[in-house]
Amino acid sequence: MQGAVYRGLFNLDSPPLFNCSSSCRWNGTYVSLGFTSTCADVTEATLRLHPDASGTWDKTGMTNMSDMYLTTPGGVRLDATYSYTSYQTVISIGAISLLKADAGAVPPGGTTGMGSGIARITVLRVPVDSNNWGFLASDMNITECDVSLAAHRFHGLSSSGANLTASRREVLTLPKGVVTAQGGRADYLTFNPPGLPSLRIAVPDLSALGLLFTSSRFAGNIFDGEASTNVADDSQGMGDAFLRTPNPAVAIHAMTDSMTDQLRAVHEQVAAGESEQQIVFVQVEWGWLALPVVVQVIAVVFLVLVLIQSGRASNLPLWKSSIVALLTYDVRFSDMDGQEHAADYVQSEKVRIGNLGTGVRSTRELDALAETVKAKLDLPMRRNTGGRDGAV
């Protein structure tokens, strides 16, 4: 628990402890024992208890140092000393235990009552005067907080990764509890609040907390100045933690939250919840797929038409990529005397229209033709202007 106190004061992250392999949800309401703090600004009330506050802290250094101590209305003593031009108080932390002095003793076979309060912590903050190391009474800020046990009621708990969150969290004040004995010594402090389950905590653990808050490991003073190292009471306690934040109440509240998480983690009880697992669903937008489907259908229809057309032309002779096949092709003119060929004439130009074709109908015939036929290029004769005729 001491580690939880330090983690809260210095704002150190500590993931909550819970058992969930994925995202989980607890829909019920759950109650656990924890801690809470109630803070108030007691600056004016404390200064009113001092006989001559304005005359004591006036930056003159003429006041007796034994008078530079304050006691809050809650009974906590604070160090507010300064020595003009030498040193001054910056932080003073005081604490008293709220546990019963006889908390460890219980009548044989009997019980005793005990409240939920643990400790009262008071923090004095003063701004630093680096020139003269002095301050006025109006410069002081005194915050007093009561740390006590409380019931924490959680609603809508959920987890994601290492984070545990609650949609709503209530802090409930506990009535006076009952201390039971074990072997003549106090064993457990049990609370039975109406409408809530029974809550209990070990009395030795509470006593250890009370001793921690009142010890020099927590309470102490921070001074600033040239002669601050010569001050008799040089224990700083948790002064560094309160130097980091301008509001001591925020630091103490973070401390009690850290203590609550620690207390809940060490007393494990199973709470049934629901595990959330991700399932992938695919939603098809058919409107966006209509155009690609239509294009595919048209392509299939076009392919079928091409196949049908190719089937109809299966009896046509194929063009062969062969020199012999190319040489066998020639232009053939039909008989133009018949009336059925009258359309083949172009009357205006008197051009005859022929058909390019070959008499070869199979590859076998083409192979036989290639073995028996030799061809040469026959160029037409042309008249030479010099009077010579001949083949070129």
- pLDDT tens profile 275-288: 877 788 888 887 78
Q: How, if at all, do strands 77-79 and 69-71 pair?
A: antiparallel
Nearest to 73 by CA among 114, 120, 127: 120
Q: How far apart are CA 91 and CA 86, in angstroms?
A: 16
Instruction: Please tell me the least confidently modeled range out of 160-169, 227-236, 313-322, 343-352.
Output: 343-352
Contact 215, 190 (CB under 8 A): no
- pLDDT-based confidence at residue 41 (cuts at 50, 70, 90): very high
pLDDT score at 341: 47
Q: How far apart are CA 222 and CA 238, in angstroms?
A: 9
Question: Which range is most confident: 13-22, 90-99, 339-348?
Answer: 90-99
pLDDT score at 382: 58
DSSP helix/strand/coil, 60: coil
pLDDT score at 374: 75
> For residue range 66-79, what is the model confidence (pLDDT) as tens digits?
788 999 999 999 99
pLDDT score at 337: 45
Helix axes 248-266, 2-9, angle to 10 degrees: 140
Per DSSP, which regions of the chain are E strands? 23-41, 69-71, 77-79, 82-83, 87-97, 112-114, 117-125, 141-160, 163-173, 177-182, 185-191, 199-202, 220-225, 274-276, 330-332, 355-357
Query: How far apart, in Å, are the Cα atoms of 116 and each of 79, 100, 172, 188, 208?
Result: 28, 10, 11, 13, 15
Contact 222, 236 (CB under 8 A): yes
pLDDT of 331 > 80? The answer is no
DSSP helix/strand/coil, 94: strand
85 C-beta neighbours (distance < 10 Å), count: 15
DSSP helix/strand/coil, 374: coil
Nearest to 330 by CA among 309, 356, 364, 293: 356
pLDDT score at 265: 79
CA angle 267, 29, 11 (to 5 degrees): 55
pLDDT score at 61: 64
176 C-beta neighbours (distance < 10 Å), count: 10
pLDDT score at 226: 77
pLDDT of 392 > 60? The answer is no
CB-neighbour burial class of residue 100 (10 A; exposed 0-12, middle 13-18, buried 19+): middle
| Mean pLDDT on 125-136 | 88
Sign, CA torsion 153/159/164/168: negative
pLDDT of 50 > 70? The answer is yes
pLDDT of 293 > 90? The answer is no
Mean pLDDT of the chain: 81
Find all residues with CB under 8 Å of 294, minimum gap 6, and list them: none
> For residue range 134-149, what is the model confidence (pLDDT) as tens digits?
888 899 999 999 999 9
Who has greater pLDDT, 308 or 250?
250
Find all residues with CB under 8 Å of 220, minimum gap 6, and list them: 93, 233, 235, 236, 237, 238, 239
pLDDT of 26 > 70? The answer is yes
Nearest to 160 by CA among 13, 15, 12, 11: 15
pLDDT of 96 > 90? The answer is yes
Find all residues with CB under 8 Å of 360, minimum gap 6, and list them: 317, 325, 328, 366, 369
Domain ranges of the chain: 2-276, 286-372
pLDDT of 217 > 70? The answer is yes
Q: How many residues does the chain have?
A: 392
Q: Which residues pair with 146 in a beta bridge?
A: 38, 120
Percent of the chain exceeding pLDDT 70 equals: 79
Contact 88, 135 (CB under 8 A): yes
pLDDT of 346 > 50? The answer is no
DSSP helix/strand/coil, 126: coil
